[in-house]
Structure 1
């Protein structure tokens, strides 16, 4: 009988190399995650012409979904409310284009006056030539000539406008379909999860994303309307034509951080130069609007959005830089909404990291 023979006692051998192995596995997991993130970013950058209208439609659709829901509660069918929202969006853009068409036409009519006003710079150029001569630098034989206005840029501009116009039409179609389909998508996404706890968490995430984006849109829209009113007042007080058009353009462009205000400053400078009595008086509207943009961008918007939505200013800046580099001006427009979505996901999936 071997029953009395002592059996070997199995013991768990703790290998002193176990900690390095676990560390290696952790490094491997992080490496795979980093490679997946880089690959995803490369795909988003390469296929930006496809993803940009879709992503914009999704973000704007979630922002406007409370409006569609309110219309639906008042008896308007979901498809009809979606069509109405898309129609109003398109009409607002068409109205903006119509309002700025008159200043652009007036600017084109007065382009020949630019050459005469630019002669103001002849005195600084003559002074610089005298300095060169005094230190022994031989001036060039050719006299410095100022550039003459030209319309050679028109065909190239049309070539640049055509792809964004196609993307805009694509955006409207996707926006219509997304707003119409959003309730069903929410329901299907929630029902994908088996447990009741997971369904409740997903439902809370979707509700908070929707509410946060709607709050962001309302807040930014109010700020931009105030900027538009300021631009209109500046245009009226400095004697620019069509102040309503300039105010509408400023409010619309201000939805695109950094790029939009800079474009508006350039427009005000160009129109001011051709309509003002002198070059320096023509630059006054652009200088005043630059002051408004500085106050709004450095103090008003960060204080309101940061306090109301609890967004870190550094995070906003980094997201703005990244998405502007990734997708251009529309990426800049989407940077803050995408940051809001990311913060909502973090707060619900990792509540312990909430500060």
Structure 2
């Protein structure tokens, strides 16, 4: 009887999960701006509280000022990116021609050294190489444009942010009432505080990581003498919004610029090497140190949720994957039913890697002591 009930609960949970995913996919145009608004509301909430306490402004005025400050910063960043991109695109024909000639020369060298015919793998030397460069560059630029303007596309997000911050006490009271049958008020309050801390740590930590990575990228490009070093350095840092993939895409454009403007191929390899090294530092030292253990997810889970959310919501899903999963981890950690899933999402501590070795060491010591 117990086994039948357990199977019934599993089927219900599985059906509920499938239903949630289905609804999230169908209502993505409605849900994505709201999720962005919730996360960004958490980010600007300290500014709202500052104006309320420091200047004794009423809630509406404080929220309005905070949102104006935030939207002004976002608009300035995107406007700067657009202006710089326009300047670069004005030189695109020159860049394409230089890259095409270098790749053609490289293909000819490959042909002479390997005996392969150029037509076998690229077609006409003078035309197809240039077209290949243009097509791939266009794809990269489209990705950057799409990922960089995600927030700007959702015109309702500022309105949602305003309403969430305005009705924050009312919404919290609703959550208390909704969870009254399954949790105490103290437990719910604790979970809400943990969710707030997770989002604050993630968002503020992400901003700090972007600044540090942007500076490191810019210094590396400056040392190599690449054009527009600070623009490309901070653009790649901004693309950290798309974990793992963003900085890779951000490194390709300056590598192509290096290929077009420098005499040696090694400058392009140098750009990719520097960005890869900085990506290694960011993933293993900078981000774990700044964001802290409260938002730590193990690497396997991070990659899997990014892939799954990208399938569900596209590029916005890739951006939202980690903060949503970190929030789910907090909820699972405080749920007896799903605590094991929360454990699975978290960082794998060293003791779990070394447990077998320690057990073997203990057995060996016991055998040695007996002898």
Q: Normalising TM by the smaller chain, what interval?
A: 0.7 to 0.9
Paired residue for 2:26? Answer: 46
Matched, 1:34 2:14: yes
Q: Is the 8 A contact 1:253 1:264 kept in 2?
A: yes
Q: Is the 8 A contact 1:269 1:283 kept in 2?
A: yes
| Aligned counterparts of 1:165 and 1:345: Cα–Cα separation in 2 | 26
Paired residue for 1:297? Answer: 283
Paired residue for 2:100? Answer: 118
TM-score computed with the length of structure 2 as normaliser:
0.75
**Which protein has the larger Cα radius of gyration, Structure 1 or Structure 2?**
1
Q: Is the 8 A contact 1:235 1:285 kept in 2?
A: yes
Matched, 1:144 2:125: yes
Q: Is the 8 A contact 1:229 1:247 kept in 2?
A: yes
Q: Is the 8 A contact 2:44 2:67 kept in 1?
A: no
Paired residue for 2:321? Answer: 335
Change (3 A) 1:278 1:127: closer
Paired residue for 1:91? Answer: 72
Q: Could you tell me how far 1:327 is from its partner in structure 2?
A: 1.8
Output one character per residue of 1:253-310: Cα deviation in whole Å (capped at 9) or x when no partner: 2122123212211222233334434554355334322321132124432465463545
| RMSD of equivalent CA atoms | 3.6
| Aligned counterparts of 2:218 and 2:251: Cα–Cα separation in 1 | 13
Output one character per residue of 1:191-247: Cα deviation in whole Å (capped at 9) or x when no partner: 456589722221221122112211222222212210011122223323334434334
Paired residue for 2:90? Answer: 109
Richer in helix (by share): 2
TM-score computed with the length of structure 1 as normaliser:
0.78
Which segments of 5 or more consecutive residues in structure 1 lack a partner in the other structure?
1-20
Paired residue for 1:168? Answer: 154
Paired residues for 1:98-247 under 5 Å: 98-114=79-95, 115-130=97-112, 143-145=124-126, 146-148=129-131, 164=150, 167-192=153-178, 198-247=184-233
| Aligned counterparts of 2:150 and 2:223: Cα–Cα separation in 1 | 34
Q: Could you tell me how far 1:341 is from its partner in structure 2?
A: 1.6
Q: Is the 8 A contact 2:201 2:291 kept in 1?
A: no
Change (3 A) 1:207 1:153: closer
Q: Could you tell me how far 1:38 is from its partner in structure 2?
A: 1.0
Q: Is the 8 A contact 2:150 2:316 kept in 1?
A: no
**SS at 1:144 equivalent:** coil
| Aligned counterparts of 1:138 and 1:240: Cα–Cα separation in 2 | 31
| Aligned counterparts of 1:50 and 1:300: Cα–Cα separation in 2 | 34
Matched, 1:71 2:51: yes
Paired residue for 2:41? Answer: 61
**SS at 1:254 equivalent:** helix
Change (3 A) 1:127 1:251: closer
Taking CA–CA contacts closer than 8 Å with sequence separation of 6 or more, which of the two structures ends up with the larger relative contact order? 1
Paired residue for 1:18? Answer: none
| Aligned counterparts of 1:343 and 1:170: Cα–Cα separation in 2 | 28
Which segments of 5 or more consecutive residues in structure 2 lack a partner in the other structure?
344-371
